[in-house]
Amino acid sequence: MVSYIGVSDIERLVRRVGTAEFMGALAREIEADYQRWPAFEKSVRLASHSAVGVIELMPASDGQLYSFKYVNGHPKNTRDGLLTVTAFGVLADVTTGYPLLVSELTVTTALRTAAMSVLAAHHLARPESATMALIGCGAQAEFQAIAFHSLLGVRDLRIFDVDSLAMAKLERNLGAAAGLGDLRVTRANSTADACRGADIVTTVTADKRNAVILTPDMIEPGMHLNAVGGDCPGKTELHPEILLLPGTHVVVEYEPQSRIEGEIQQMPAGFPVTEFADIVTGKVAGRRSRNDITIFDSVGFALEDYAALRYLHRLIQEDPHGRREIDLVPVLRDPKDLFGGTVGGVRSRMRAAV
Ligand code: NAD
């Protein structure tokens, strides 16, 4: 039997652990895996593009466990009452090839993306950062806000979205969430208004085009940009000149994938970037001076989902009462008798007769 985590299970697990604590644990798992970067078999994700979105497969393996995530990105979906991003994934045992866990990853992707954002900001933003502009108030927004408040110390959040209902939803959810009493949430009139004086700017918008959410005039010395929404060919958020501003340090997850999908797709092939693993292992300094402009050009890398799936698998092992299983793989008395043990067997003939 294979363990299964559905949406109701992830809700229960996150409630049990606490949302901020869950993202803190994920950040530690992800950091530990980036620290052993060479141990991973890495590849750019396999993307199937259409006029309205993308469907992607994201594999990772460290030779002991293997994982993949199925994820889509369809910015127009929300108009029809559907999510922009949905996902599910599998964790498998490399020794036997057997799947260990099938899990929802829609909620988990939001949790792991926010965990990864905070982890990057921890290494790149000025240590006293307390003010964040959050541009884009959709499905990912609360997770980003809670993670930056609880794990990085952001106390002043300026939010902006072209959709005022999305801003109202974010204010309502943050107002009702536990543990955010000292978080001041202010609605900005524009992206420029939100960014003025911010230590960190998080962009998490969805639009299938080279959008220009941030322009160079909005960027101040010392800012950290957490650019989350530009994650596909032809789908970016930053004006290219931001990447060329003096003192700018661009950090990516896995360079070959980010060259295709990140903000740096707008730059020539030799444009200098640092892989996050080199920051985590101390090979390269994240921030060299107070006035550096640091950019985490986030696209989401398979290692982060691998870390999340392994963490989920451990959590449900520790919670045998809540654990669900599905019969994804046949259990046979004779492994060579797949026919007799399944469709051709006595058991299945009896079932058909009932
Ligand atoms: P969503 O559709 O729920 O929310 C996006 C929000 O952006 C919407 O409220 C929309 O009104 C707003 N928006 C669009 N254009 C805007 C603009 N010009 N100015 C201000 N706001 C604008 O999507 P979501 O699930 O929150 O995802 C947001 C983005 O993050 C998507 O592009 C998604 O692909 C990306 N994403 C990246 C990662 C990663 O690891 N880097 C992970 C998950 C999602």
Q: Round to whole Å and give the CA distance between 305 and 178.
A: 26
**DSSP annotation of 41:** B
Q: In what order do the strands lie in the sheet with 46-49?
A: 46-49, 54-61, 65-73, 87-93, 99-104, 2-5, 324-326
Under-50 pLDDT residues of the chain: none
Interval 2-26: pLDDT, tens: 999 999 999 999 999 999 999 999 9
Spacing, Cα 314 to ligand 1 middle (Å)? 30
- Residue type at position 324: R
**Atom 8, ligand 1: residue with shortest CA distance:** 138
By most ligand atoms within 8 Å of CB, the mutation choice from 113, 119, 140, 252 for ligand 1 is: 140
- Residues facing residue 238 across a β-bridge: 214
Residue from 9, 33, 199, 231 carrying the catalytic annotation: 231
Spacing, Cα 43 to ligand 1 middle (Å)? 24
Domain ranges within the chain, ordered by starting residue: 2-107+304-335, 116-300
Check residue 260 and give its pLDDT.
98
Inter-residue contact 123 to 96 (CB < 8 Å): no
Terminal Cα-to-Cα distance of the chain (whole angstroms): 24
How is domain 116-300 classified at the architecture level of CATH? Answer: 3-Layer(aba) Sandwich (3.40)
**DSSP annotation of 190:** S
- Residue type at position 95: T
User: For the domain 2-107+304-335, what is the CATH superfamily, name and number?
Assistant: ornithine cyclodeaminase, domain 1 (3.30.1780.10)
Pocket of ligand 1 (CB under 6 A): 73, 75, 78, 84-85, 109, 113, 135-140, 160-163, 166, 204-207, 211, 213, 228-229, 231, 298-300
**Atom 33, ligand 1: residue with shortest CA distance:** 229
Interval 61-96: pLDDT, tens: 999 999 999 999 999 999 999 999 999 999 999 999
| Tokens linked to 134 | 């959050």
Active site residue 297: no
Spacing, Cα 62 to ligand 1 middle (Å)? 31
Interval 102-114: pLDDT, tens: 999 999 999 999 9
Check residue 321 and give its pLDDT.
78
Cβ neighbours for 28, distance < 8 A, ≥ 6 positions apart: none
Cβ neighbours for 252, distance < 8 A, ≥ 6 positions apart: 258, 262, 264, 273, 274, 275, 276, 297, 299
Closest by CA to 164, choosing from 191, 185, 187, 193, is: 187
Check residue 265 and give its pLDDT.
98
Angle subtended by helix axes 19-35 and 7-17, to nearest 10: 100
**Atom 25, ligand 1: residue with shortest CA distance:** 139
Check residue 236 and give its pLDDT.
97
Check residue 154 and give its pLDDT.
98
